[in-house]
């Protein structure tokens, strides 16, 4: 009966209740959306690389090294010599070392020169190895392995031929038309920058640059962009890092990817907090609207409230009645807002991925979001306390 009274009273004020519901739904949508995208991007961020103990590059800021070696963002200031890389790989504490050579592109996607070891050792997320959806690793100079998104977006299949350009612009003039590479492998999706990468052998990179004809001797590179290092024992991480940083022949920098990733994420903390602040303010505005709507309704319903008092309703009943109306509206708003967000993520997921490189799953329900929604209900109870108290205090004044 209690709930029925609240529901019917809201239905009796369809117009204002509906508008309030709409405002609340939009704010829940914004709040959940911001939180969801934030946690998702944080996760996918932290998951871009794992199992790599050290990343080695020319001396620069650790952030810069991380950005160009892992995210393929920006360009390296300097390369490291092949000799230095060989020296690191020969270190007895090092289990494996993968060279990385960047600087070329194919239709806007970065080309990564490396060795076949890359596919064996590089991992992402919770120690997921790279997996081939089709084909296998490159063997020949002109073999190429595509990331999932590259293959999907450009419509490449195994055996297709393509041309790799020197430089990173889409419309590079230095198109190497005479170097037809052939797709020998396509990787399974990883939801990391790997999906947007074109992988070739180091020899392939040299071939692009030095005009090597197919069938020529495999050149060994004079320098590479960076290296990824796996150690035999995690315990040695700091020791090896120090050794590399103090390397005499060349100024080098070794970073721990996990540490650098969290530093980078912290730098984005300001943006993150601004977004959260805005979404909280939007919610506060909607809650104030809810409170104002209920307060106005109490003026309208003064006689109804007095009638309830006369037939024996204690003041706290009226307090709870108004609170219940508020909670009904905000619960319904949560349902509407969450549904709206879910539908938008499903329909706009591709756009987000394409435009912002953001891979967002449509599953918006986590422990975190449940807490958040409980907080919303709590905030609703607090915001509705003002009109509820008004109803509670309503004295008989005929």
Under the rule (CB under 8 A), what is the footprint of other proteins?
1-2, 4-5, 8-9, 11-12, 303-304, 307-315, 317, 396, 398
Does residue 326 contact residue 389 with C-beta atoms inside 8 Å?
A: no
Paired tokens of 109 = 């996607």
Q: How far is the CB of 318 from ligand ATP (least distance, A)?
A: 19
Which residues are CB-contacts of 166 (< 8 A; sequence separation ≥ 6)?
Answer: 103, 104, 172, 174, 176, 208, 209
Q: How far is the CB of 376 from other proteins (least distance, A)?
A: 28
Paired tokens of 52 = 């790599």
* Angle of CA points 32, 33, 37, to nearest 5°: 115
C-alpha–C-alpha distance, residues 45 and 51, integer Å = 15
Q: How far is the CB of 2 from other proteins (least distance, A)?
A: 8
The answer to whether residue 398 forms part of the interface with ligand ATP (CB under 6 A) is yes
Q: How far is the CB of 302 from ligand ATP (least distance, A)?
A: 13
309's contact among other proteins, ligand ATP, none, with CB below 5 to 8 A by partner kind, is: other proteins
The answer to whether residue 397 forms part of the interface with ligand ATP (CB under 6 A) is yes
For residue 226, give the H/E element and its range.
strand 226-231
The answer to whether residue 303 forms part of the interface with ligand ATP (CB under 6 A) is no
Q: How far is the CB of 297 from other proteins (least distance, A)?
A: 12
> Is the Cβ of residue 104 or residue 325 nearer to other proteins in the bound state?
325
Residue nearest to ligand ATP (CB): 397
5's contact among ligand ATP, other proteins, none, with CB below 5 to 8 A by partner kind, is: other proteins
The answer to whether residue 395 forms part of the interface with ligand ATP (CB under 6 A) is no
Query: How long a stretch of residues is the chain?
Result: 398
For residues 165, 170, 174, 175, the Cα torsion angle rounded to the nearest 10 degrees is 50
> Is the Cβ of residue 50 or residue 306 nearer to ligand ATP in the bound state?
306
Among 378, 395, 281, 344, CA closest to 37: 344
Among 213, 185, 176, 208, CA closest to 102: 208
> Is the Cβ of residue 261 or residue 308 nearer to other proteins in the bound state?
308
User: Phi, psi at residue 105, to the nearest 5°?
Assistant: -145, 160
User: Phi, psi at residue 87, to the nearest 5°?
Assistant: -65, -40
Q: How far is the CB of 393 from ligand ATP (least distance, A)?
A: 15
Q: Would you give the DSSP letter of residue 98?
A: E
Q: How far is the CB of 312 from ligand ATP (least distance, A)?
A: 21
11's contact among ligand ATP, other proteins, none, with CB below 5 to 8 A by partner kind, is: other proteins
The answer to whether residue 246 forms part of the interface with ligand ATP (CB under 6 A) is no
213's contact among other proteins, ligand ATP, none, with CB below 5 to 8 A by partner kind, is: none
For residue 19, give the H/E element and its range.
helix 14-46
Binding site for ligand ATP (CB under 6 A): 397-398
């Amino acid at each position: 009966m209690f709930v029925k009274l609240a529901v019917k009273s809201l239905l009796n004020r369809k117009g204002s209740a509906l508008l309030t519901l709409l405002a609340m739904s939009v704010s829940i949508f914004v709040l959940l959306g911001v939180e969801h995208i934030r946690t998702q991007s944080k996760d996918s961020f932290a998951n871009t690389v794992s199992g790599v103990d050290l990343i080695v590059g020319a001396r620069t800021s650790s952030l810069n090294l991380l950005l160009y070696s892992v995210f393929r963002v920006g360009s390296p200031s300097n390369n490291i010599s092949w000799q230095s890389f060989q020296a690191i790989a020969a270190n007895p504490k090092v289990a494996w070392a993968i060279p990385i050579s960047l600087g070329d592109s194919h239709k806007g996607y970065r080309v990564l020169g490396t060795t076949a070891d890359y596919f064996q050792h590089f991992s992402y997320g919770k120690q997921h190895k790279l997996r081939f959806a089709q084909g296998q690793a490159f063997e020949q100079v002109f073999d190429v392995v595509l990331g999932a998104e590259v293959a999907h977006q450009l419509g490449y299949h195994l055996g297709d031929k393509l041309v790799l350009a020197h430089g990173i612009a889409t419309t590079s003039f230095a198109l190497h038309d005479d170097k037809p590479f052939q797709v020998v492998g396509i990787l399974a999706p990883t939801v990391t920058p790997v999906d947007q990468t074109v992988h070739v052998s180091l020899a392939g990179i040299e071939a692009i640059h030095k005009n090597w004809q197919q069938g020529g001797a495999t050149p060994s590179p004079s320098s590479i962009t960076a290296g990824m290092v796996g150690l035999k024992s995690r315990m040695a991480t700091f020791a090896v890092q120090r050794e590399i940083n103090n390397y005499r022949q060349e100024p080098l920098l070794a970073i721990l990817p996990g540490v650098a990733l969290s530093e980078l994420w912290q730098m984005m903390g300001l943006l993150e907090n601004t977004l959260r602040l805005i979404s909280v303010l939007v919610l506060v505005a909607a809650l104030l609207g809810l409170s104002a709507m209920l307060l106005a309704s109490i003026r309208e319903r003064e006689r109804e409230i007095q009638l309830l008092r006369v037939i024996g309703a204690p003041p706290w009943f009226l307090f709870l009645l108004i609170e219940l109306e508020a909670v009904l509206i905000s619960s319904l708003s949560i349902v509407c807002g969450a549904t709206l967000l879910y539908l938008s993520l499903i329909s706009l997921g591709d756009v987000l991925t394409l435009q912002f490189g953001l891979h967002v799953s449509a599953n918006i329900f986590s422990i975190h979001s449940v807490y958040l929604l409980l907080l919303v209900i709590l905030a609703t109870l607090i915001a509705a306390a003002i009109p509820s108290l008004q109803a509670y205090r309503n004295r008989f004044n005929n």
